[in-house]
Chains A and B, each alone.
Chain A
Amino acid sequence: MRWLLGKDLTILKRSPLLTGILVLYPVILALMIGFALSSPPGKPKVAIYSGIHAGQANMRLGGAKIDVGSYTHQLLASIQPLPVKSSAAAVAAVRSGHASAAIIVPANLIDQVHQLLSQGVGQPSVRIVLNSRNPLERDLVDSQIQTRIDQVESAVSHQLLKAALTDMNQVVNGGPISFAGASVNLMGLKQARAIVARAAARTHDPGLSRVVSFANLAIGGMSLANPVLGQLQTPLAVQRQELAGASTPTAAYAVAIAAVVSEMFVALLLAAALLAAERSENVFSRLVRGLVSRTEIVAEKTLLAAALSALVTFVLACVISVFVPALSWGRVELWLAAALCAGLAFGALGVVLGALAREVAAASLLAFGVALPMAFIALIPSSAVSGALAGVLDVISFVFPFRAALEAVSNAFSGTSPAIGLPLVHLLVLALIFGGLARLLLRRFAA
């Protein structure tokens, strides 16, 4: 078998196009994935129309000044703004495709906010216009704008609460405030209570005692409101929980998909083409008349495809790990184990396809034909299809190596998926089954 291995390696070495594709394919794929995962999404071009004039962008709340302009800058941070002169121009920019979306700030936004704060009525609003021609782009832009609006809302509410707390404390404790351009010393409830209490003690006036009781009640109530409002400054704390064995970091999972797809193509194509080539060059009949057994031929093609595809996957993972820190180098031996087991299963399946096709071009075409649906079916989430169909897809994914390979490789990369042992055993069993099937098919291969 080692002579056959050496022969196949020599042939690969003398096939520069094939070898070039084998080397370049994973490197290019790795670089593309690495850049995609490590680069932030681009800023969408968004038409902006603001009806608020520069001088109207500030508003006062109690003793605090809120600069609406500074929050507008935050909103613009994640987009590429395209300033326009009217709301109609903003809509036209979206309609013509010059902008992915438009944000229209009405002229009376500041008045709306004042009305809400002073009377508790109305809802200040801005208008967002989205281009629905490309649903993916629309969702991306929408989520980017919405995220920024949420941040602005949070910042404004924080500022409002801070101002309200300051004012409330001054009502309770007193102190200097600015009023009509002059500084005035506010008495405060506590000081007023002390004065009234002293007067009530001197006069024994029951009416004054009731005022003291009211002051006590008011001070107590406001003291209670303090921590409650303080909590509202940070309205929602998000708690993340990772259940053992349930999730894989998105970046590592994306890399695992890329790695398994490239390994699948390399192993399937290599194994199928190498076996079919033995027949295309008329050598198979010469080999099997006592020189090499059919089992040895199956094993040699499977091992070679597994070793080379695992090498390709390993190189790909090493390159991507430069961009994606989620790939744990501490588990590098598991990367190799997963890549080898996946390569064996894919390689054995490739030998089956080579035995079925019996000719290099047909074998390559068949390998492509099998690889694509195998990957697509394995990647369809069970929740995306009805129960019966999900069952069928699960069975198909179980008898082909893609899903098991993805589980093994994603676990090897990040260590957060279910235990790696089961998918590795699954892959080895599939390799044996496909190897046996290939051996059966080779009985008629020489004819």
Chain B
Amino acid sequence: MGDSHAAVLSATGLAHRYGDRVAVHDADLSLYPGELVALTGPNGAGKTTLLSLLAGILEPSGGSVAVSGRVGWVPQQPALYAKLTVAENLALFARLENVPDVQKAVDALLHQTGLWDRSDEQVGRLSGGNRQRVNVAIGLLGDPAVLLLDEPSASLDPEQRERLWSFVAGFVEAGTAVLFSTHDMAEAWRPAQRVLSMQDGALSEAER
């Protein structure tokens, strides 16, 4: 589907090592606007390392990443300040992202995540599912062209997963390219249009 558009993220020959251990080896990858792509593989296959390289958290040992636009990053564990409220967390990261109208962006995300009525509640008091929604919402600040989610549904029950994917689907429809990792092949195929597989640091396209 993406061939008709220009890629918003392209990785070429991407590699990373932890000492002698090769975590990612010669990975090529392109993401296109409005595309929802799953990255599967067993634990330790290199999924998180690949996402970290794409997000700019880790420096690659080899290869390069080209991005047009902002990249939103959602780590596996909610990366939030438990003592701050939902609105304060969103506002803090909006300011750090240099979002032009912080209040407008926060209000919009509170509505989109369905957390408007919980906006003044400290994040530490939220359920795991709601915390993950705030976690994803922070990744969406500044209207990123690409959203990278590391095992976003790992700690959620089936109902919360449903709500998460319908929430993400809204952004995909709006043109955001989404790449998420999971070790559950069934879950990968359900929302995703395309599935990539990772094994011992090597990336390949998976067949349905």
Contact = CB atoms under 8 A, between A and B. Distances in A.
Give the contact-size bracket for chain A: 10 to 19
Interface string B63-95: 000000000010101111111100010001101
A289 interface: yes
A214 B198 CA distance: 126
A282 B55 CA distance: 15
A187 B138 CA distance: 114
Interface in A237-294: 281-283, 285-292
A15 B83 contact: yes
Contacts of B122: 14
Contact of B73 (A10, A15, A286, A447): A286
A7 B81 contact: yes
Contacts of B84: 7, 10-11
Contact of B56 (A3, A7, A290, A292): A290
A286 B75 contact: yes
B96 A287 contact: yes
Given A289-B55, A289-B57, A292-B96, A281 B82 contact: yes
B100 to A, nearest CB: 15
B96 A283 contact: no
A232 interface: no
B74 to A, nearest CB: 9
B199 interface: no
Nearest to B82: A281
A116 interface: no
Contacts of A14: 83, 122
Interface in A295-311: none
A7 B92 contact: yes
Given A14-B122, A285-B52, A291 B79 contact: no
A205 B96 CA distance: 122
A291 B52 contact: no
B95 A283 contact: no
B80 A291 contact: no
A11 B95 contact: no
Interface string A1-45: 001000100110011000000000000000000000000000000
A64 interface: no
Contacts, number: 52
Nearest to A280: B82
Contact of B75 (A10, A285, A288, A290): A285
Given A282-B75, A285-B75, A292-B96, A10 B83 contact: yes
Nearest to B77: A282
B155 to A, nearest CB: 13
B80 A283 contact: yes
Question: Chain B's interface: helix, strand, loop or mixed, by majority?
Answer: loop
Contact of B95 (A3, A288, A289, A447): A3
A395 interface: no
Nearest to B88: A10
Contacts of B77: 282
Contacts of A7: 81, 84, 88, 92
Interface in B119-151: 122, 138
B97 interface: yes
Contact of A286 (B79, B82, B83, B95): B79
B208 to A, nearest CB: 33
A446 B82 CA distance: 19
Nearest to A443: B59
Given A7-B92, A291-B96, A292-B96, A281 B80 contact: yes
Given A285-B57, A289-B73, A3 B88 contact: no
Contacts of B97: 291
Contacts of B83: 10-11, 14-15
Contacts of A447: 58
Contacts of A288: 57
A384 B92 CA distance: 54
B79 A283 contact: yes
A287 B80 CA distance: 11
A283 B58 CA distance: 15
B19 to A, nearest CB: 11
A282 B93 CA distance: 14
A271 to B, nearest CB: 17
B57 A446 contact: yes
Contacts of A289: 55-57, 73
A286 B88 contact: no
Interface in B26-68: 52, 55-58
Contacts of A285: 52, 57, 73, 75, 79
29 contacts: A3-B92, A7-B81, A7-B84, A7-B88, A7-B92, A10-B88, A11-B83, A11-B84, A14-B122, A15-B83, A281-B80, A281-B82, A282-B77, A282-B80, A283-B80, A283-B81, A285-B75, A285-B79, A286-B75, A286-B93, A286-B138, A287-B96, A288-B57, A289-B56, A291-B93, A291-B96, A291-B97, A446-B58, A447-B58
Q: Which 9 A-B pairs have the closest CB atoms?
A: A282-B79, A291-B96, A286-B79, A11-B83, A282-B77, A14-B83, A283-B79, A289-B56, A3-B95
Interface of A: 3, 7, 10-11, 14-15, 281-283, 285-292, 446-447
Given A286-B75, A447-B58, 17 more contacts: A3-B95, A3-B96, A7-B81, A7-B88, A11-B81, A281-B80, A282-B77, A282-B78, A282-B79, A282-B80, A283-B79, A285-B57, A285-B75, A286-B79, A287-B96, A289-B56, A446-B58
Interface of B: 52, 55-58, 73, 75, 77-84, 88, 92-93, 95-97, 122, 138
